Amino acid sequence: MRVDPAALDQLLHPTLDPAASRDVLTIGLPASPGAASGHVAFTADEAEARAKEGEAVILVRVETSPEDIHGMHAARGILTARGGMTSHAAVVARGMGRPCVSGAGALRVDVKTGEMTVGGRTIRRGEMITIDGSTGEVMAGHVPTLKAELSGDFAQLMAWADRARTMAVRTNADTPHDTETARGFGAEGIGLCRTEHMFFDGDRIIAVRQMILAEDEAGRRRALETLLPHQRQDFAEIFHIMRGLPVTIRLLDPPLHEFLPREEKEFAEVAAVMQVNPEHLRRRALELTEANPMLGHRGCRLGIAYPEIYEMQARAIFEAALHVGEQSGETIIPEIMIPLVSTVAELAFLKERIDAVAEIVFEEKETRLTYLVGTMIELPRAAITANEIAGKADFFSFGTNDLTQTTFGISRDDAGGFMPLYIDYGILSRDPFVSIDQTGVGELVRMGAERGRSTKAEIKLGICGEHGGDPASIHFCHGVGLDYVSCSPYRVPIARLAAAQAALEAKAALEGGKA
């Protein structure tokens, strides 16, 4: 009870030497903990090339996109001028265990000239900088770091925490590496596997773009045939690592703008595969461009418009689960999550198709398995009508990133421009994308949980937004009676300790004593 869960970050990530001098250029958002020094690279290709030559690299972008994933893997840390605590850069970096500073609004990045400017100072490509993802500081030059070390006492503390807590702790993981990392930190399952994150690599993103840009079902199905074996292998590896622990897989939920080609070479790559003119694809991409893509053609809306996408993913899940179950002897019970549902009719429409795919696969394989179909509650309407949605759902997972965004009407990727002022002026006591807003967003979670259980008492309830790793939010989730929280791999120990403290405090309150 005397240990601050947030302090565990210092054990899990490298930290800056407190005795070292620092030349601070600017301060952004502390998007992913840890500290790193490296030579500035302004493109993912440059970061990857420098890293292959043995250089330590910091990838600096205005904002990251799926095309940057190879550079993010290669870099020691990530710095962006735009983006909030749940931006693409922040979420991916946390999953990788890379330090990240996002939303450094004073930073001006010019990729063409290979320079970034801040406070009248210019840092050029190849020059050394240091970032501290725990404080948001960006520094010129190299600042020494201290390596994280986990002692036997850490394991003992975690064992005590596990005996005390009542909520399960899962992880948000999309790759075998993230899954292995989370298991090492004691995760008891996967609460969110974002399948769109599996499509960022070169060959796959071409197939995804082919699917999105196709003008008919036949074209989409050709691209999906390319993706099916990749998806099946991805799921098989994750099921194997989790060894029968629950795995919640969210079906494709991409804001389409994240996957559309942007550069000439990208249009040329997709055009070559589809055997069409690049100019035709540019026109098609323009047709698909949305004014507000985060509230546009994504989530279950994509699955309803193009059911073959979710059908492919469902087939990959069932085939992988049956294969791993047969090989390992473990009972694999996949949990399939349909995103961005706002009405029970959406869930019913897609669940019917998933069930149909299941029957086809079971007949082909001459065997069956148990599976769950549920939804992510991430829109206010879904929380309000949770009693209706629960009639068709085996579980709810509260996606508090989008629920916060849609409740406040604030873009999580743009909040960095004004959120620090809101905190400084006392308009908000804390960033609602970091710690759950209990009186607004939290009330919707409470409402969704209560109304869902009023229809289906045994419905499984969890949270998979980034709030799942925040101690204050975990205390709130315990009070609401959620079954589990899910967070980034490196935050699993923090969640385990916070969940234990929440349980002990609740027990002490019932007994009228002190925890």
Name the residue range of residue 42's domain.
Answer: 5-146
| pLDDT 10s digits, 451-492 | 999 999 999 999 998 899 999 999 999 999 999 999 999 899
Q: What does pTM read for this prediction? A: 0.82
The whole-number pLDDT of residue 420 equals 81
Domain limit, last residue, from 352, 370, 388:
370
Average pLDDT over residues 424-433: 92
Same domain flag for 10 and 116 = yes
Q: Are residues 245 and 314 in the same domain?
A: yes
CATH number at residue 269: 3.20.20.60
Cβ atoms within 10 Å of 262's Cβ, excluding its own: 11
41-76 residue pLDDT tens: 999 999 999 998 889 999 999 999 877 888 998 999
Give the pLDDT of residue 201: 64
Q: 121 falls in which pLDDT band (50, 70, 90)? A: very high
Q: Note whether 23 and 119 are same-domain residues.
A: yes
Residue 306 lies in a domain: yes
Q: Do both 250 and 140 map to the same domain?
A: no
Question: Which pLDDT belongs to residue 257?
Answer: 67
Please say if 100 is a catalytic residue: no
Per-residue pLDDT at 386 exceeds 70? yes
Asked if residue 271 and residue 331 are part of one domain, the reply reads yes
464 included as an active-site residue: yes
Q: Tally the domains of the chain.
A: 2
Is there a single domain that holds both residue 207 and residue 324?
yes
pLDDT in tens, 8-22: 877 788 889 999 999
Q: Reduce the secondary structure of 9-29 to three states and give it as a string.
A: HHHHCCEECCCCCCCEEEECE
**Average pLDDT in the 496-513 region?**
92
Same domain, 125 and 199: no
Q: Tell whether 137 and 257 lie within a shared domain.
A: no
Place of tokens 């000439």: 264
Mean pLDDT score of the chain, rounded to an integer?
91
- Give yes or no: residues 267 and 139 share one domain: no
Q: What is the pLDDT of residue 254?
A: 78
Pairing mode of beta strands 137-140, 128-132: antiparallel
Is 231 found in the same domain as 100?
no
Q: What is the pLDDT of residue 52?
A: 86
Exposed / middle / buried, residue 401 (Cβ in 10 Å: 0-12, 13-18, 19+): buried
Torsion of CA 135, 138, 140, 141, to 10 degrees: 60
pLDDT value for 70:
86
What pLDDT is recorded for position 514?
63
Percent above pLDDT 90 for the chain: 66
In this predicted structure, the answer to whether residue 328 has a pLDDT above a threshold of 70 is: yes
C-alpha 75/C-alpha 93 separation (Å) is: 10
Rounded CA-CA distance 225/141 in Å is: 48
User: Which residue among the candidates 464, 467, 478, 487 is catalytic per the annotation?
Assistant: 464
Rounded to whole angstroms, the Cα distance separating 371 from 390 reads: 16
User: Which residue in the list 13, 39, 88, 475 is annotated as catalytic?
Assistant: 88
| Distance between start and end Cα atoms, the chain | 8
Residue 210 lies in a domain: yes
Report the CATH number at residue 140.
3.50.30.10
Is residue 177 in a domain? no
- Domain termination site, one of 320, 336, 370: 370
Whether residue 127 lies inside any domain: the answer is yes
